[in-house]
C-alpha cells in the first residue's frame, strides 16, 4: 500500500460508492485502490463502459472501440464492482443518503461509508427536425468516419458543404479531423464553421484564434463569425447575423453541432470536496468533476484535467477523513496548460502561463504526453505528482 501524507488508517476497510464512471470517477477509483487496496468500491453508472471522451474526434482515424474501457475490465483490474443504474441527484436526496449511509434501489440497497458524486455534465443535444443534424452525443455511439460516410452515401453524391456549429475546443478539434478525413478520401464537400462569437476558441488567448483561423484558411474552410445557427432543413442551413438580425439560408448537406455541456445539476462543495447542503458540509458525501463547484482557489473549469484532479483529491480526503487524524487537503489545483489538436500532427495550446502559446508539432506532442498520462492511470500506473 502506497504512503498517503496525513493518513493514519482506522481499523476497518471502507465501503465506498462512486456515482459516475467518467474522468473524475475513474481518477478517484484508481487513487482509492492505490492507498487502500482492500476497500470495497462500487461504481454506479448507466453505461456499460468508460469513454475517453476527449479523444472522440480521433474516431475519424481510429475505431470507437479504442476509446471504450468496459466496466467489467475495470472491475477485474481494480477489484471494484459496477452497478448499471442511473440515479436522480438532489441535495435532499444526498442528505437522506448521508443519514442512512445507504442508497436504495428498487430491488436492492447499497450501503456505504463514503459516497462520491462524480456524475459529470452531459453534452448538450440539439433539436432535430431532420436527419441532417448531428451532435457530440452521436459520436459517443458511432465512430465519426462511419457517421460521415453513411451520411454522404445517403446524399447520393451531392457536394453541398458540411457545416460545423461551434468554435470551442471540441468543435475545432472535430473540424480539423473532418477536414483531413475529407482530404484522405478525396471527398469534394467543403467545410464551413459557424460561430456566435467574433473568433474561434474565445475562452483562450487571442493567439489561439490567430493560429487556428490561419490554418482554417490554409484548408479553405469558410468561417462565419458572429452568426447564430437557427436550424437545418433538408439541404439548407438556417443562419442569423448576430448584429443585424438578418436571417438567410445556405446550401448544407449536414450540420454538426458542438454547443457545449448541459449543466443539469451542480453541487457546491467546500475546499475539501465535501458537499454543502443548507450551509453545512455532508461529511461523508463528496463530489468531483463537472458537477462540482469547489469553494476554494482551485480551478472549477469543466475540463478533463480538473475532473481528474478533483477526483484524486476527493479520494485522498475520503481516506484521510476515515482515518485517525482527519486532516484534509484543500483543493488548489490550477491547470498548467491546455492544448487543442488541429489534426494528427498539429495543435495550439498554452503551457505554464496562458500567454505562453505553443503551436505545431510541439503542442501536439504535449497533448499526447498529457493524454498518455491518463491512459497509464487507467492501467493502474499513477504518474500524477499530486
The CATH number for 315's domain is 3.50.50.60
**Contact yes or no for 154/253 (Cβ under 8 A):** no
Residue 7: inside a domain: no
pLDDT for residue 106: 81
Phi, psi at residue 92, to the nearest 5°? -65, -35
Residues 141 and 75 in one domain: no
Task: Quickly list DSSP for 227-273.
Answer: EEEEEEETTEEEEEETTT--EEEEE-SEEEE---B-----EEE-TTS
Same-domain status, 238 and 279: no
List per-residue pLDDT tens for the chain, 386 residues long. 688 988 899 878 899 999 999 999 999 999 999 999 999 999 999 999 999 999 999 999 999 999 999 999 999 999 999 999 999 999 999 999 999 999 988 888 999 999 999 998 777 777 776 788 999 999 999 999 999 999 887 766 678 999 999 999 999 999 999 999 999 999 999 999 999 999 999 999 999 999 999 999 999 999 999 999 999 988 899 999 999 999 999 999 999 999 877 777 899 999 999 999 999 999 999 999 999 999 999 999 999 999 999 999 999 999 999 999 999 999 999 988 999 999 999 999 999 888 899 999 999 999 999 899 999 999 999 998 76
Query: How far, in whole angstroms, is CA 27 from its chain's centroid?
Result: 13
pTM confidence score: 0.94
Residues 189 and 289 in one domain: no
158 in the same domain as 211: yes
Same domain, 253 and 266: no
Per-position b or e across 244-274, b if 16+ CB within 10 A of its CB: eeeeeebebbbbbbbbbeeeeeebebbbbbb
Give a yes or no: residue 138 inside a domain: yes
Name the H helices within the chain: 23-35, 71-78, 91-100, 136-139, 144-154, 169-184, 206-218, 304-322, 360-378
The answer to whether residues 78 and 53 belong to one domain is yes
**What's the pLDDT score for residue 157?**
65
Q: Domain boundary residue among 223, 257, 291?
A: 257
- Are 116 and 146 within one domain? no
Residue 175 inside a domain? The answer is: yes
Cα dihedral 98, 99, 102, 108 sign: negative
Q: Name the β-bridge partners of 354.
A: none
pLDDT of residue 350: 95
Q: In what order do the strands lie in the sheet with 353-359?
A: 337-341, 347-351, 353-359
In this structure, the answer to whether residues 364 and 378 fall within a common structural domain is yes
Task: Count up the domains in the chain and report the number.
Answer: 3
Is the domain of 347 the same as that of 328?
A: no
Residues 84 and 107 in one domain: yes
pLDDT digits (tens, 9 = 90+) for 123-181: 777 777 678 899 999 999 999 999 999 988 776 667 899 999 999 999 999 999 999 99
- Picking from 257, 278, 306, the residue at the C-terminal end of a domain is 257
Q: Determine, yes or no, domain membership for 342.
A: yes
* Cα distance between residue 191 and residue 182, in whole Å: 9
Confidence at residue 11, expressed as pLDDT on a 0 to 100 scale:
73
Q: Give residue 1's pLDDT.
A: 64
Query: What is the chain's length?
Result: 386
Q: What pLDDT is stored for residue 10 in this prediction?
A: 82
Which range of residues forms the domain containing residue 25? 15-122+262-334
- CA atoms of 151 and 136, how far apart (whole Å): 16
Does the residue 10 lie in any domain? no
Residue 53 lies in a domain: yes
Residue 81 lies in a domain: yes
**Same domain, yes or no: 277 and 252:** no
C-alpha cell at 33: 485502490
| Judgement on whether residues 28 and 113 belong to the same structural domain of the protein | yes
Q: Is residue 1 part of a domain?
A: no
Amino acid at each position: 500500500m502506497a504512503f498517503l501524507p496525513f493518513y493514519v488508517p482506522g481499523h476497518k476497510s471502507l465501503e465506498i460508492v462512486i456515482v459516475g464512471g467518467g474522468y473524475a470517477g475513474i481518477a478517484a477509483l484508481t487513487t482509492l485502490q492505490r492507498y487502500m487496496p482492500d476497500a470495497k468500491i462500487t461504481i454506479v453508472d448507466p453505461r456499460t463502459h468508460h469513454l475517453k471522451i476527449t479523444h472522440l474526434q480521433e474516431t475519424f482515424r481510429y475505431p470507437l472501440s479504442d476509446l471504450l474501457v468496459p466496466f467489467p475490465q475495470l472491475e477485474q483490474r481494480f477489484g471494484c464492482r459496477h452497478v448499471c443504474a442511473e440515479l436522480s441527484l438532489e441535495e435532499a436526496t444526498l442528505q437522506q443518503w448521508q443519514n442512512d449511509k445507504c442508497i436504495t434501489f428498487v430491488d436492492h440497497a447499497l450501503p456505504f461509508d463514503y459516497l462520491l458524486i462524480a456524475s459529470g455534465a452531459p453534452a448538450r443535444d440539439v433539436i432535430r427536425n431532420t436527419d441532417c443534424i448531428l451532435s457530440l452525443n452521436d459520436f459517443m455511439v458511432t465512430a465519426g468516419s462511419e457517421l460521415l460516410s453513411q451520411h454522404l452515401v445517403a446524399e447520393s453524391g451531392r457536394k453541398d458543404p458540411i457545416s460545423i456549429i461551434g468554435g470551442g475546443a471540441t468543435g475545432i478539434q472535430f473540424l480539423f479531423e473532418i477536414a483531413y478525413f475529407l482530404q484522405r478520401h478525396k471527398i469534394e464537400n467543403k467545410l464551413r464553421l459557424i460561430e456566435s462569437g467574433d473568433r474561434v476558441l474565445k475562452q483562450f488567448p487571442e493567439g489561439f484564434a490567430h493560429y487556428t483561423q490561419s490554418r482554417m484558411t490554409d484548408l479553405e474552410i469558410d468561417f462565419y463569425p458572429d452568426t447564430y445557427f437557427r436550424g437545418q432543413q433538408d439541404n439548407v442551413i438556417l443562419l442569423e447575423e448576430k448584429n443585424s438580425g438578418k436571417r438567410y439560408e445556405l446550401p448544407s448537406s449536414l450540420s454538426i453541432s458542438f454547443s457545449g455541456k448541459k449543466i443539469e445539476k451542480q453541487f457546491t462543495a467546500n475546499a475539501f470536496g465535501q458537499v454543502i447542503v443548507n450551509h453545512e458540509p455532508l461529511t461523508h458525501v463528496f463530489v468531483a468533476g463537472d458537477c462540482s463547484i469547489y469553494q476554494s482557489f482551485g480551478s472549477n473549469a469543466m475540463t478533463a484535467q480538473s475532473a481528474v484532479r478533483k477526483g484524486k483529491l476527493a479520494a485522498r480526503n475520503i481516506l484521510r477523513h476515515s482515518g485517525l487524524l482527519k486532516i484534509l487537503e484543500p483543493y488548489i489545483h490550477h491547470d498548467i496548460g491546455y492544448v487543442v489538436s488541429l489534426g494528427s500532427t498539429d495543435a495550439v495550446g498554452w503551457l505554464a502561463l496562458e500567454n505562453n502559446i505553443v503551436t505545431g508539432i510541439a503542442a501536439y506532442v504535449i497533448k499526447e504526453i498529457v493524454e498518455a498520462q491518463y491512459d497509464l492511470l487507467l492501467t493502474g500506473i499513477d504518474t500524477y505528482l499530486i
